[in-house]
Amino acid sequence: MPGKTPWKMAAGATAIALLAAGCGGGGSDDSSSTSNTVVIGIGEPQHLIPSNATESNGAEVLASLFYPLVDFDAQNNPNPVAAESITPDKANTVWTIKLKSGFTFSNGEPVTSDNYINAWNYGAYGPNAQGASYFFDKIKGYADLQSKDPDGEEGPQKAPEPKAKTLTGLAKVDDTTFTVTLSAPFAGWESVMGYTAFFPLPKAAWKSDGVIADGFEDAIIGNGPFKLKGKWEHDSQLVVEKVADFKGTAPKVDGITWKIYQDQQAEYADLVANNVDVQTTIPIESLAKASADLGDRFKKSPNSTFQFVGFPTFQKEYQNVDVRRAISMAINRQEITDQIFLGSQSPATSFVSPVVAGYRANTCGENCEYNPTKAKELYEAAKGPKEIKITYNVDGNHKAWVDATCNQIKASLGINCVGGEEPKFADLLTKVEKHQPVGLIRLGWIMDYPLMENYLGPLYSTDGSSNYYGYSNATFDNLVKEGSAAATPEEAIKKWQAAEDILAKEMPVIPLRNGQNVFGYSEKVSNVTLDLFSKVDIYKIEVVS
Amino acid sequence: MFRYIVRRLLQMVLTFFGATFLVYALMFANQKDPIQALVGERPVSESQRIALTERYHLDEGFFMQYWYYMKGVLTGDFGTSMTGRKIYDMMSDAWPVTFRLAIIAIVIAAAFSVTAGVYSAIKRGGIFDNSTLLITLVLLAMPIVVIAPLAQLIFGIQLGWFAPTATRDATFYQLLLPAIVLACIVIAPEMRVTRTSVVENLRADYVRTARAKGLTRMRVIWVHVLRNSLIPVVTLIGVDLGGLLAGAIVTEHVFNIPGVGFNLARAINTEDGPLVVGFVSILVILFLFINLLVDLLYAALDPRIRYE
């Protein structure tokens, strides 16, 4: 009987396969619940080389593996941490950084000036394509490390190699001292160096000069309070354990498991089931039940996110400032933050985030106050367009609030308002670059360092990296630059505030909302705080005994 | 038989190249600005753009890019993802867990649907038959995007019978709930087909003959009838594999399983052409082999079938 045997074999094979499927895994949950370690949920980091880690997941993990030059106190003023002292010259151009001695990387190498200089040169060198390379653009010699395609991206010529491989602005004085020369005076430089991109790299990182060794990123070695246990288990987890003889501030927990989630709702399910100890962002779908599920372990704190819409300067119909003011007045921000965001964001009435020094509430004045009657009068007098559009990327959960905003504008101004959908942010940018009529552009900003300048520069300066709408005002640009060059932080803030006042008059964008950290934690941990970058403070968190 | 298999294998080579070419072309057509997609809303500096364009040959034409890719694949190098990881490493991380999930789901679905199908065919019109008809209709009507979070909420969080999420090295028990959810999409059709097929065969002449010979009822049903009824079911299970993998995208997302479905979804999102094609190539091969296996199983089930 030819058929019988394969039939039985198939059944047997199935049984074996099922057995294999069942037995393949297991044994991962060996840490007992009494141990002094915590599990914090994150998303898969894109990169762990500090100069390439620009998103919050990577930054969060790196904060446990590295010890920064400076950190920030409650008022967001920089404090030297790994640095003994950071002193500028009189012009705020040459900064001398003295490192604390005795610090080592977790592999035993001492931390020296070279570790910083080499890492920063690598980060700034254009062909390395490091995401955070723009942080180094204030250092002298940055331009020589970049290459420019002579005939544009489409042209046949290849970009030439950059003129130099190292920044002329970085100079070693001795093993624990080095100087940074900026290309222009900048009083806030100390704050900038608090960012992830400024971490040092050990000698073990390099295969040869300026080339990172294969596999270093997966087993990264830092100078921080924790070291990576094993390797980066992509899409699964990163386990870090305490460095035994760490010289700096010692954290209260013995280890952290950075558990990687693809979906915040899955993470929330695990938080409720006590499988993860901290969730830094509770998804909006779960907000309604979070208070009931977590009680007082559901918390909010300010962060630096700033949400707004911009008016493209290439569209004539928005050139009249009264049109822009009227649209802004037509929007009821409070209603949207309450109804759509369930209080997880707050209305914005200024052009910078409340978390930076120099912030003043309500600089936007009556332009950001909901006043449908005045809005309609202004709009009709200014003969605004009969239909306006708010273009957004659909992959970012923006539909609900854009539609609500449109409905408010419709009701207030008596005109038509539609949401323009683009699949991704890149598609939106392409249309803006081609000057297609996109209408109002949905935008958001998270700061890199806690200074007003980090909002004013990139968002509203003529050559700002995220000024997609093309706003340009020479007086404004000068004020921002003067502020950066000012001798003291107080003088800088004065200049920057003057610059912000120009924005309030001209309304190049409509401020909409300021973000908040909306986080929760399990019963196992206490003292959970999040900083302005939505990072858990790993030095404060502790396990409830 | 041997010639048949060789012929099928040769056809597979053609199908494989055709399918990967198509997928590559589709990804290429959909690719607008993968560099911007990679960094999200952050600005990309010009030198960064130049370096990445060169690294991933983004400035070359379609056929050159395809040629680079195929040259790599044929020498066992699946290339590098846009995030800089070796695609081979990503695949060897992702495939085992999805494979286990799929096997458990297929076995659960097959075991349940065949047993329940046969039983409701025997008791045609009874309570069991009618209630399973109702349940399968409900299951058919519910998309997996509803079933998966619902199952997670009820059995994972509220009742606490299962862990709400699973990891890469999940145990059999952790994978059980996602596998049941996954099985739900294929249980309904498989069970209905088994039932119809068994009902039809129960009326066949050979069943009457077998009964007349004095065979027991159990032997008639589980050996004679079932074996003849299984051909359409086995075909369906083979085809269902595609549905399972599509369902895995949702299931793996909900239950946080870093498998194939998750990687595919992410790769499509970041316009990561080589990563999508890499995973799909393996999917195509798998699909082709399973369908060959299904065709060979016909002979086992029905000795009259001969392969030339």
Phi, psi torsion values for A444, nearest 5 degrees: -145, 160
Give A212-236 pLDDT, tens digit per residue.
998 899 999 999 999 999 999 888 8
Q: Is A381 helix (H, G, I), strand (E, B) or coil?
A: helix
Write down the pLDDT at residue A363. 92
The string over A371-398, giving b where at least 16 C-beta atoms fall within 10 Å of a residue's C-beta and e elsewhere, is: bbebbbebbeeeebbeebbbbbbeeeeb
B162: Cα separation from own chain's centroid = 23
Cα nearest neighbour of B254 on chain A? A266
Partner-chain residue, chosen from A25, A130, A233, that has the shortest CB–CB distance to B170: A25
d(CA A122, CA A130) in angstroms, rounded, equals: 8
**Angle B144-151/B226-254 helices, nearest 10 degrees?**
70
pLDDT at A26 over 70: no
Q: Which residues of B touch A444 (CB under 8 A)?
A: 41
DSSP secondary structure letters along A512-525: EEEEEEEEEE-TTE
Check if the beta carbon of residue A527 is closer than 8 Å to that of residue A312: no
Q: Give this complex's ipTM.
A: 0.79
pLDDT tier, A27 (very low <50, low <70, confident <90, very high otherwise): very low
The neighbouring-strand residues paired with A526 are: A542
Write down the pLDDT at residue A227. 94
Least Cα distance to A30 among A233, A273, A257 occurs for A257
Cα nearest neighbour of A20 on chain B? B100
Cα nearest neighbour of B45 on chain A? A134
Amino acid A302 reads P
Cα nearest neighbour of B266 on chain A? A262
d(CA A487, CA A71) in angstroms, rounded, equals: 21
Taking the CA of residue A84 and the nearest CA in chain B, the distance in Å comes to 33
DSSP symbol at A530: B
Q: Which residues of B touch A6 (CB under 8 A)?
A: 296-297, 299-300
DSSP symbol at A161: P
Q: Which residues of A touch B252 (CB under 8 A)?
A: 262
Write down the pLDDT at residue B159. 86
Give A168-192 pLDDT, tens digit per residue.
999 999 999 999 999 988 888 998 9
pLDDT at A20 over 60: no
Write down the pLDDT at residue A16. 56
Taking the CA of residue B126 and the nearest CA in chain A, the distance in Å comes to 30
pLDDT at A156 over 80: no
Residue corresponding to tokens 């929007």: A331
pTM for the predicted model, two decimal places? 0.83
d(CA A106, CA A244) in angstroms, rounded, equals: 9
pLDDT tier, A151 (very low <50, low <70, confident <90, very high otherwise): low
Give A390-440 pLDDT, tens digit per residue.
999 887 788 889 999 999 999 999 999 999 888 778 788 888 888 888 889
Q: Is B84 helix (H, G, I), strand (E, B) or coil?
A: coil
Taking the CA of residue A268 and the nearest CA in chain B, the distance in Å comes to 10
Write down the pLDDT at residue A33. 47
What does the pLDDT average to over A457-478?
89
Domain boundaries, chain B: 2-74, 94-301
Q: Which residues have C-beta within 8 Å of that of residue A64, sequence separation ≥ 6?
A: A224, A225, A226, A240, A256, A258, A538
Cα nearest neighbour of B263 on chain A? A235
Write down the pLDDT at residue B80. 80
B168 to A275: CB separation less than 8 angstroms, yes or no: no
DSSP secondary structure letters along A258-313: EEE-S-HHHHHHHHHTTS-SEES---GGGHHHHHHHHGGGEEEEEEEEEEEEE--T
Among A251-255, A264-268, B221-225, the minimum mean pLDDT is found in B221-225
Q: What is the pLDDT along chain B (308 residues), one digit of tens a residue?
A: 788 888 888 988 898 888 888 888 888 777 777 777 767 667 777 777 777 777 777 777 788 888 888 888 788 787 788 777 888 888 888 888 888 898 899 899 999 999 999 889 888 888 998 998 898 888 888 888 888 888 888 888 888 888 888 887 778 888 899 999 999 888 888 898 999 998 888 888 888 888 888 888 888 888 888 888 888 888 888 888 777 877 888 888 888 888 888 888 888 877 787 888 888 888 888 888 888 888 888 877 777 777 76
d(CA B279, CA B283) in angstroms, rounded, equals: 6
Q: Which CATH number fits domain B94-301: 2.40.50.140, 2.30.40.10, 1.10.3720.10, 1.20.90.10?
A: 1.10.3720.10
Residue corresponding to tokens 């007082």: A296
Least Cα distance to A233 among B92, B224, B19, B114 occurs for B92
**Angle A453-460/A474-485 helices, nearest 10 degrees?**
150
B52 to A129: CB separation less than 8 angstroms, yes or no: yes
Give A5-19 pLDDT, tens digit per residue.
555 555 555 555 555
Partner-chain residue, chosen from B59, B107, B299, that has the shortest CB–CB distance to A14: B107
Partner-chain residue, chosen from A14, A133, A458, that has the shortest CB–CB distance to B45: A133
pLDDT tier, A152 (very low <50, low <70, confident <90, very high otherwise): low
